[in-house]
Amino acid sequence: MVSRLSLYRSTNLVNWKPAGHVFTKMPVWADYYMWAPEITYENGKVYLYYTAHKKGGSLCIATAVADKPDGPYTDLGPLICQEVGSIDAFPMRDETGKLYMIWKEDGNSVKKPTPIWAAEMKEDRTALVGQPKELFRADASWEKGLVEGVSMIKQGDYFYSFYAAAACCGKTCNYGTGVARSKKLLGPWEKFPGNPVLSGDLDWKCPGHGTPVEKDDKFYFLYHAYSNNTDAYGGRQGLLNEFEFTSDGWLRFLNNKNYGKPVKTKRIIDEFSNQKLADNWHWSIFQNVQYNVANNNLELQALPSVCGAYIGQSVLARNYTAEITVAKNSTSQAGLALIGDDENILYTVVDKDVMRLIQVKKGKAEMITENKVKNFSDVQIRARVKNNTEVTFMYSINGSKFSVLNNEAVDISYLPPWDRAVRVGPISKGSAGKLAVFKKFILDNQ
């Protein structure tokens, strides 16, 4: 899915509302991937640190700056691009006030260690200066040879480092959170003997990679984890956990192993009544998706690629129903898709007088079934998903009676590739100039 680094706003750290995006297009130096953002405020400026893949290179850490949190942002370009990649930036001032960048060397991408580095950074955030120094790396059994996602806070005599360890993502993740401390930013660093401090509970798994926040004289850790209800299918969700500093110079989380209950998503109805798409729609960064919203219609230009042009919304339930109305004046293959990524997708489309169910797995398309349809105007297509793993498609040509397209449920357990959640939404497939027209989208999370 496209990542323009979405912004959200909150006054209480609990209730969040979309607030636009950092970028409306990829920075000129990058070609794909936009990960691991960290936002900070200092001296009247807002600095956004992020990771992206450099054209012809590796993962790099870069900075963007704005006068206010909702932008507009000016990209300042890459700060560090190590041979195996650099990721997970966090700015921190040392005990003398010098500004440093903390980051992870992405060694795990080539089966190498993942040291955490620090280097002094120019005050304008345009470059690092001096030689980097390693702070620590994975050396405990629970860390499984990988540490990353470092964030820091200074309290009393110590710098405290929150870090994530082990495998972050997907169905086999074993992520957790550890804490380390040091009296000087550049070390020596000491890891908490009781690590991991966060390791999952009955409702959540693989908690990690967060940021400590102080608000109203209380301290919180904002991080992500998978809901055990949806697992990898629902993607990683934001959690908040209060902590306090202890008399022995460490810290503890106040709610221990109870991280709270997953929030139930309300029914979503989009009748495309605004002049632009809502912020909860996403699309592929690798596809040139073109759309227009007007007169209660979404017009989605077709793409000939194996996945077509699609937009999708995240699904945060194990069982759900999605529905889209396809207008008869559509000229492309138009319908409803369940999306993992560009090479893993399942969709039903109307193509003239035929309904088709197509499975794309590892980039190869296969038609599962098709039905002839006659004497229709608009067509409603519905997908009913059970247990995140099986789906039945239905369609209606009169708005009331639905016909089942696939009598045997299709296995969609393959859809969430690695760290991406399943999305659902309209798809438009065909040659250049073809167009899909949609009137209404409904998503019922059960």
Q: Do 164 and 227 fall within a single domain?
A: yes
Which amino acid is located at 436 in the chain?
Answer: A
What the block records as the tokens of 85 is: 């990649």
pLDDT at 286: 81
Distance CA 24, CA 440 (A): 25
Q: Do 181 and 311 fall within a single domain?
A: no
Range of the domain at 179: 6-253
Q: Does a structural domain hold residue 382?
A: yes
Contact 405, 394 (CB under 8 A): yes
Q: Does a structural domain hold residue 431?
A: yes
Domain end marker among 205, 226, 253: 253
What the block records as the tokens of 333 is: 């293959």
Q: Do 392 and 279 fall within a single domain?
A: yes
Interior angle at CA 90, CA 84 and CA 95, nearest 5: 120
Q: Do 137 and 283 fall within a single domain?
A: no
Q: Does a structural domain hold residue 1?
A: no
Chain-centroid distance, C-alpha 162 = 21
Q: Do 149 and 287 fall within a single domain?
A: no
Instruction: Give the CATH number, domain containing residue 405.
Output: 2.60.120.200
Q: Does a structural domain hold residue 259?
A: no
Instruction: Please state the domain count of the chain.
Output: 2
Domain end marker among 253, 280, 295: 253
Q: Do 229 and 372 fall within a single domain?
A: no
pLDDT at 1: 44
* Residue pLDDT tens, the chain, 446 long: 445 788 999 999 999 998 888 998 889 999 888 899 999 999 999 999 999 999 999 999 999 999 999 999 999 999 999 999 999 999 999 999 999 999 999 999 999 999 999 999 999 999 999 899 999 999 999 999 999 999 999 999 999 999 999 999 988 999 999 999 999 999 999 999 999 999 988 899 999 999 999 999 999 999 999 999 898 899 999 999 999 999 999 999 998 667 777 777 789 999 999 988 988 898 887 888 999 999 999 999 999 999 999 999 989 889 999 999 999 999 999 999 999 999 999 999 999 889 999 999 999 999 999 999 887 789 999 999 999 999 999 999 987 899 999 999 999 999 987 778 899 999 999 999 999 999 999 999 87
Q: Do 286 and 246 fall within a single domain?
A: no
Chain-centroid distance, C-alpha 301 = 25
pLDDT at 98: 98
Maximum Cα–Cα distance across the chain: 77
- Strands laid side by side in the 218-227 sheet: 204-215, 218-227, 236-245, 251-253
Q: Does a structural domain hold residue 20?
A: yes
pLDDT at 257: 67
Q: Do 302 and 246 fall within a single domain?
A: no
Name the nearest CA neighbour of 35 among 224, 184, 183. Answer: 224
Distance CA 248, CA 110 (A): 39
What are the φ and ψ backbone dihedral angles of 321, each rounded to 5 degrees? -130, 135
Instruction: Give the CATH number, domain containing residue 156.
Output: 2.115.10.20
Domain end marker among 253, 284, 315: 253
Q: Do 243 and 277 fall within a single domain?
A: no
3-state class of 328 per DSSP? Answer: coil
- Please report, for residues 154, 158, 159, 182, 191, the alpha-carbon distance to residue 188 in angstroms, rounded to integers and kept in the order given: 15, 11, 11, 6, 10
Q: Does a structural domain hold residue 404?
A: yes
This prediction's pTM: 0.91
Q: Does a structural domain hold residue 149?
A: yes
